[in-house]
Amino acid sequence: MSLARFVVWAPRRSAVTLMIKKVGDSTPVKVSMERDEEGWWSPAEPLPDNGIGELDYGFLLDDSDTVLPDPRSQRQPDGVHGWSRTFDPGEFVWSDQKWTGRQLAGGIVYELHVGTFTPEGTLTAAIDHLDHLVELGIDFVELMPVNAFNGPHNWGYDGVLWYAVHEGYGGPLAYMQFVDACHRAGLAVIQDVVYNHLGPSGNYLSRFAPYLRSDAGPTVWGDEPNLDGEESDEVRRYIIDNALMFLTDYHVDGLRLDAVHALHDTRATHLLEELNIDVSARSTFLRRPMPLIAESDLNDPRLITAREGGGYGLTGQWSDDFHHALYVSLTGDTSGYYADFDSLAALGKVFENGFFHTGTRSSFRGRTHGHPIDTWRTPTWRLVVCSDNHDQIGNRAAGERLSSKISPAQQAIAAMVTLLSPFTPMIFMGEEWGASTPWRFFTSHPEPELAEMVRAGRLEEFAQMDWDTSEVSDPQDLRTFEVSRLDWSEVDQTPHAELLELTKRLIKIRRSYSDFTDPRFDQGRAVSNDEAGWLLIERRDMIMAVNFRDRPTEVDVGRAVEPVLSIGQVEVVGDLVRLGPHSAVAADATEPRRGVQGGVSPLAKHRIFSAGGRPDVAVRGSSGTA
C-alpha cells in the first residue's frame, strides 16, 4: 500500500495522526504525519507491515481522541461514522476491454434505485435483471446515488462520503462487478452524483478543512460545498476528482449531476464548466464518450451550449417542462407548479422549442422564468424527458406512480409520446410494465431529532404545494421503504405484460423510423385543440395524433397516412384520423402535406430502418381510470 493512499487535506489543523490497524485487529497503531505547504498531511514514519494487506484506518485531528473517516474513503464497512477501509480498484480484473462507450444521442435511459430495484436491494441482485433491460431496448442504466449515507436505506441524496459506495449495496467491489456486467450486456452506466450539498448525518468534512460554505447555514437538504470562497480550489478538486474516479477507476460511462441550480458558484469559470473541461480531457484520453447530464429547473440553455458558444458544454439536461406538460395533459391536475401547463399547447410548445418557460411568466414562481433554446443549433437529444421519475413519484404525498392515477390506455399514450419524441427518453424502473408499487420518500436516520426534522419538513413541502398532507407517509417508517420495492411477479400479469410488450414495440419503432429521432427542432411541428382534446405532432413524414380526452374526437392531418401503431379505437379515412376516447396513433405519411406546391414536402421523405417489416400494432385499453 502506497503512503500516498493515506494523505489528507487539513490546512487549518496543527496536528494530524493516522490511526491504522489490520482488519480484525483490536489495537490500532498511531502514525505521526507531517504537513506540506498546501495543507496536505502524509505519514512521517513507516506504516505497520509496510501498509500491505487490507487495513482499517482513520485520522485524529489536533488533540481530539475521535477517529474520523477519510474524506476520500472508498469503503466504509461500518457506516459513515466508522473507520475507513483500504480498497484498491486497480486489483479488479475487468472483462470490458472491447467496450468503447456509448453516445447519449439516440439512446434510451433507465433510472433505477439499487435498494428497491430488487427484493435484496443489492448491486449483485440487480445484475440478474440486466437481461430484462436488454430485451426492453435500453442503452443506459442510470443509478441513483450510491455514495455512503447514514442508515441502511435512503434515496441516496443524503450522502456524506462521496468516494465510498454504500456498503448495504455491496460496496465498491460489487459496484465494479455491476458496471462490468452492464458492459458485457451492451449497457452503458450513468451514475447520479450529488455535488450541491452533503447529507445531515456523518458529515465530518468541515473538521478537516473549509469544505463547506461559511457565509450560509445549511439548506433544507444539508450543508453546501465551498465552491467560491477561501481555499475553494481544493474543494473543487475534491469534486472533480470524485467524478473522474467514477469515470476512470470504475469505468462508468457518464454522470447525472443532481440539482445543479443549487450550486452556489460566483467564480469566473463555473464548476460545471471546469468539470466538463476535465472530463472532456479524460474522455479524449480513454477514447470513449463520457456524457454529463444536468438536472436543472432553471431552463437555462447555457448548460448545454458548447463552451465555444459561451456555455458550459454539458452533454444534456433533464426537461421538467416535458414531464409537467404531459402529466397535466393526462391527469388534468393543475395544482402547484403544474398550473401553467393547463393547455395541450404547452406540450406542443415543448416539442417545438424544448422548454415551455422561455422567459414567460411562471405563476408558481411569481416571476418570469427560463430562456429560449437556440433550436437552430441545439439538437433535440440534449433534453432528457420522461413521464415519471424518482422525484415526480417520490414527491407526491403517497408516492404514487403515474400508472396509479391513469388508465392502461393513458399509460400507453404516455409511453408513446415519450418514446417517440425526438428527445432522449428516460424510463423509471417498473414504468415499462406500469408497476403498481408506489415509490415513496424514505430515510433511516438513527438520530431522533433529525428524523423528526425530516418528517416535519416533508409536511411543510406538501403544504406549500396546496396538497393533502394526510396521505404523506412517514419517511422513517420501515414500511415506507419496503412497499417501494418493485414486484417483479407483475411482469407476466395482465395488464402489466401488455404494457411491457407495447413499450418494447415503441422502442423498436423508434429505431425503425429515423424521423422520430431526427434531432433537428425545425423538422417538426405541433398543433393542438383543447376543446376537442387532441394533439398532433409531426416529425418530418411521421406523425403522432393523440386524444387525451375521454370522448371521441377527430383530427384532419392534411395528408394520407398509414398507421404504424394504434392505441385504443383509431380509424383513418383519407386525411381524417378518428380517435376514440384516450386513443392515439403513430403513422407514416404516404403523401406530402396538403397545400405543398410541386408535390414535394418540405419535410423530406424519411428512410425506414426495418427490424422485421413495417409493424402494425393495435393496443386496446380501457378509457376509464385505472
Identify whether the C-beta of residue 416 lies closer than 8 Å to the C-beta of residue 387: no
- 258 catalytic? Reply is yes
Residue 18 parent element (H or E): strand 16-22
Alpha carbons 358 and 299: distance in angstroms, whole number: 7
Q: Which of 345, 347, 422, 325 is nearest to 378 (CA)?
A: 422
Identify whether the C-beta of residue 388 lies closer than 8 Å to the C-beta of residue 401: yes
258, 300, 515, 518: which one is catalytic? 258
Identify whether the C-beta of residue 86 lies closer than 8 Å to the C-beta of residue 72: no
Alpha carbons 3 and 319: distance in angstroms, whole number: 45
For β-strands 542-547 and 109-112, DSSP reports them as: unpaired
Q: In the chain, what is the straight-line distance between the N-terminal and C-terminal CA atoms, in Å?
A: 59
Alpha carbons 333 and 441: distance in angstroms, whole number: 21
Cα 94 versus chain centre, distance:
26
What are the DSSP E strand ranges found in 476-556? 524-529, 534-539, 542-547, 553-556
Alpha carbons 254 and 107: distance in angstroms, whole number: 13
The letter for the amino acid at 220 is V
Q: What are phi and psi of 510, to 5 degrees?
A: -55, -35
Q: Three cell numbers at 74? A: 472508498
3-class secondary structure, 8: strand
Alpha carbons 514 and 517: distance in angstroms, whole number: 5
142, 273, 295, 490: which one is catalytic? 295
Cis peptide bond prior to 71, omega within 30° of 0: no
Beta bridge partners of 572: 577
Q: Three cell numbers at 365? A: 414562481
The DSSP output letter for 591 is S
Residues 6+ apart with CB under 8 A from 439: 113, 116, 390, 393, 394, 399, 401, 428, 430, 484
Q: Which of 346, 239, 258, 270 is nearest to 297 (CA)?
A: 258
Cα 328 versus chain centre, distance:
21
What are the DSSP E strand ranges found in 286-356? 292-294, 316-318
Neighbours of 42 (CB within 10 A): 16
Neighbours of 560 (CB within 10 A): 17
- Give the largest CA-CA distance in the chain: 88
- 96 catalytic? Reply is no
Length of the chain: 626
Q: Three cell numbers at 76? A: 466504509
Identify whether the C-beta of residue 494 lies closer than 8 Å to the C-beta of residue 488: no
Angle between helical axes of 320-331 and 408-419 (0-180°, round to 10): 150
Q: Where in the sequence numbering do the catalytic residues fall?
A: 258, 295
